[in-house]
Structure 1
Amino acid sequence: MSSPSRWRRIGNDLKALLTIHKHPRPWHLPLVAALAASLPMFLGALTDTMSQAVLASIGGLVIIYMPHAPLMRRLITVIVALFGFIVSFSFVDSLSFNPYVGAFAVALITMLANGLVRYWQIPPPGRFFFIMIAALAATLPFDIALLPVRIGWLTVGAIFAVVLVVLYSLAIPVTHHAKPIEPVAPVFRREIITESVLIGMIVGGSLALANGIGLVNPYWVPISCAAIMQGATVRDMRHRKIHRISGTIIGMALAYWLWSWNMSPLQVALAVFVLMFIIETLIVRHYGLTVVFITPMTLLLAESALGNLALEELVQARVVDIALGSTIGFVAGWLLLYRRQRASRLN
């Protein structure tokens, strides 16, 4: 017979899964993020360069790293993230001529991103978008002649986001001085290196596994794996796994409905704007609801660049990707968390 404490824990888990948190995020912050992600696609739709504009739109996601701080702090942070985006994309895209070499490149980018984020104690989204961009680069059709063009479009989108950061900061200045970013204590630096190597092997290995079993464009396997491992505790990771899988299933239904419209490029750009606004409004309030809208937006961006699957195949492939990546991320994240806690006790 189950003890009352066990049922209480289950009840607390269900409450945490369903709770929508209050957060004082102003409406204009999601609006600026939505503009950074969608305006390149509007321009691409008007100039018939949609496939290239998608890369600029992905570059525009650099605005998500804008901190709540004065203009110079914002500029430095976003520009550093911009260079990180370019390095992640260009390094992996140049090595994606072989799926396993590409997976190895994703592993190296993951190691570097995790190490720098942990060393400088960068808050969420942390390493996530650098890994996402690397995973997408690994699944693009390899063409070394297109590499400079792809990097150029990504950079243009990121620079446009930097301009928006300046305009937004001048229009709505922030006087609050955020806590300065400081490196971790020396005693933890060796632990960060070890952890980064392990996380890189796990994320890169998940992509190699997906390629090995023949999944088509399995960029969401490493993305899901990295997203689940963002959790700080086993409970967080369990909740993220439940939210990600359930949110993805609902999100796929939403994506299927959107795709059934046979949307024009302008309508796709409008959908990205609306979805990005909703995502940035919900992300601080409820992860599962956010995933519902992340799913179709990621599909609109990634599949506009790849675009070689029928709708039914696309939905099936992405659900399998996320289930596999989430499972790998949960198991690996639990082992890493146990190892981190054990190392902290020893120190």
Structure 2
Amino acid sequence: MVERIATIAKEELRLLFQLKKTERLWHIPLLASLCTGVPLLLGYFGGRLDYGVLACIGGLVILYMPSTSMEHRMLTLLLCAFGFIVSFAVGAAFSFDPIFSALALGLFAFAVNWIVHYFSLQPPRNFFFIMIASMASCMPFDMAALPTKVGLIALGTIFACLLALFYSLYILRRIPSKVSPLFVRTADRFMVIESVVIGGFICLSLLVGHLLRLDNPYWIPISCLAVMQGLNVAHVGRRSFHRILGTFVGLGFTWMLLAINPTALHLCLAILALQFIIEMLVVRHYALAVIFITPLTFFLAEIGSGFSVDTNLLFAARLLDIVIGSLIGAFGGWVLHNKQLQRIAMVHVAHRRWRRR
């Protein structure tokens, strides 16, 4: 038993310092940084950083661009852009009440996960749709401002799609594209069960944040979802540990960046650079990427308010959010990948279908 634990610990320690190989081109990180940085800089020079933040969130749709033909690339991006707009609208529309907000987010997460798996959408799969809905659900409810906010998300996605179009026109002349059908549909019983589990735990995580009266509880469901995306129980536990460790180190890195008293322009440029670094690292080492994700998300959340709140309190709140969300996600991942529970659920679904006949 002791030898088994020592072997596992040694393997986890090795993986903690291992960089994975990847065939991902540096073009995608550059595109991602431009799609987030340019709208942010336009918002800064236009005197509306809050508008720039919303538009740069929409620009993240560029991460869904597949390495396929022009038709498949643009159709995928346009559909994902529509998904981003719907995600923000759904989250913001139900932000008037914490209970309704958590229930709506859970149902939305169920629907998104089912659709993403049904059409075999490539990574990052359901993550950014649920992330945007979660962030919008925790914003102050303002129905009058909702069309403007949704429009800014749409503008960010439009900018990303235009940039993807020009990039694709260039790159497809140099690198042959993969042949891929426009829609690959897959359906199985576990897909529904997985969607139910993910929707339930996303709902629970946001509800926990509201019950604890945390300032920005959307980090709890985001962390929960990020951890639950593990491939198996061991991978889920590893992602949970890496996320907590990376956040802890990342908060120290954020504190050092803020110690030099950067201006709003410096923060915009830092966000642009951090996005590039994150996309270079996230496919190689998750914990290392989280170190840079922490300051990026921190700057995006607080740049509009000018860091008017005590940063030490913000650091403590962020670490608490990540720890709670990662622990809930670890439990959710165990439920999701537990073989015995999967068999029970499969039998239950099959029995219900047989009774309907």
After TM superposition, is the score higher than 0.5? yes
Give the direction of change, closer, same or farther, for the CA distance of 1:169–1:343 in structure 2 (3 Å limit).
Answer: farther
Distance 2:99 2:308 in 1: 21
> For each residue in 1:299-342, what CA deviation from the matched residue of structure 2 results, as whole angstroms up to 9, or x when unmatched?
12223357663211110111000000000000111011115753
> For each residue in 1:280-311, what CA deviation from the matched residue of structure 2 results, as whole angstroms up to 9, or x when unmatched?
11111111101111111111222335766321
Distance 2:39 2:276 in 1: 15
Whether contact under 8 Å (2:117, 2:191) holds in the other structure is yes
Residue 185 of structure 2 aligns with an amino acid whose one-letter code is P
Whether contact under 8 Å (1:17, 1:239) holds in the other structure is no
> For each residue in 1:55-87, what CA deviation from the matched residue of structure 2 results, as whole angstroms up to 9, or x when unmatched?
000000000111111222111111111111111
Distance 1:227 1:278 in 2: 18
Does residue 177 (structure 1) correspond to residue 166 (structure 2)? The answer is: no
Distance 1:262 1:146 in 2: 32
Q: What is the CA RMSD across the aligned residues, in angstroms?
A: 1.9
Does residue 150 (structure 1) correspond to residue 152 (structure 2)? The answer is: no
Instruction: Report what 1:213 is aligned to.
Output: 212
Instruction: Report what 2:192 is aligned to.
Output: 193
Shift of 1:50: 0.5
Distance 2:202 2:179 in 1: 32
Instruction: Report what 1:159 is aligned to.
Output: 158
Residue 150 of structure 1 aligns with an amino acid whose one-letter code is K
Structure 1: 5+ residue stretches without partners: none
Give the direction of change, closer, same or farther, for the CA distance of 1:246–1:303 in structure 2 (3 Å limit).
Answer: same
Instruction: Report what 2:139 is aligned to.
Output: 140
Whether contact under 8 Å (1:246, 1:288) holds in the other structure is yes
Whether contact under 8 Å (1:259, 1:311) holds in the other structure is no
Residues 1-347 of structure 1 mapped to structure 2, 5 A cutoff: 2-3=2-3, 5-173=4-172, 174-180=175-181, 181-185=183-187, 188=188, 190-304=189-303, 309-339=309-339, 341-342=342-343
Whether contact under 8 Å (2:72, 2:180) holds in the other structure is no
Shift of 1:157: 0.6
Number of residues of Structure 1 aligned to a counterpart in Structure 2: 343
Shift of 1:203: 0.5
Distance 1:309 1:131 in 2: 27
Give the direction of change, closer, same or farther, for the CA distance of 1:337–1:87 in structure 2 (3 Å limit).
Answer: same
Whether contact under 8 Å (1:63, 1:161) holds in the other structure is yes
Residue 209 of structure 1 aligns with an amino acid whose one-letter code is V
Distance 2:139 2:247 in 1: 22
Residue 124 of structure 2 aligns with an amino acid whose one-letter code is P
Give the direction of change, closer, same or farther, for the CA distance of 1:196–1:40 in structure 2 (3 Å limit).
Answer: same
Shift of 1:24: 2.5
Sequence identity (%) = 41
> For each residue in 1:222-250, what CA deviation from the matched residue of structure 2 results, as whole angstroms up to 9, or x when unmatched?
00000000001111111101110000011
Distance 2:215 2:346 in 1: 43
Distance 1:14 1:231 in 2: 18
Residue 336 of structure 2 aligns with an amino acid whose one-letter code is L
Instruction: Report what 2:353 is aligned to.
Output: none
Q: Secondary structure at the match of 1:319?
A: helix
Give the direction of change, closer, same or farther, for the CA distance of 1:234–1:305 in structure 2 (3 Å limit).
Answer: farther
TM-score (norm 1): 0.93
Whether contact under 8 Å (1:58, 1:301) holds in the other structure is no
Whether contact under 8 Å (1:38, 1:57) holds in the other structure is yes
Larger deviation, residues 228-237 vs 171-180: 171-180
Whether contact under 8 Å (2:32, 2:63) holds in the other structure is yes
Residue 247 of structure 1 aligns with an amino acid whose one-letter code is G
Residue 75 of structure 1 aligns with an amino acid whose one-letter code is M
Residue 242 of structure 1 aligns with an amino acid whose one-letter code is F
Larger deviation, residues 136-145 vs 99-108: 99-108
Shift of 1:139: 1.3
Give the direction of change, closer, same or farther, for the CA distance of 1:100–1:309 in structure 2 (3 Å limit).
Answer: farther
Structure 2: 5+ residue stretches without partners: 351-357
Shift of 1:343: 6.1
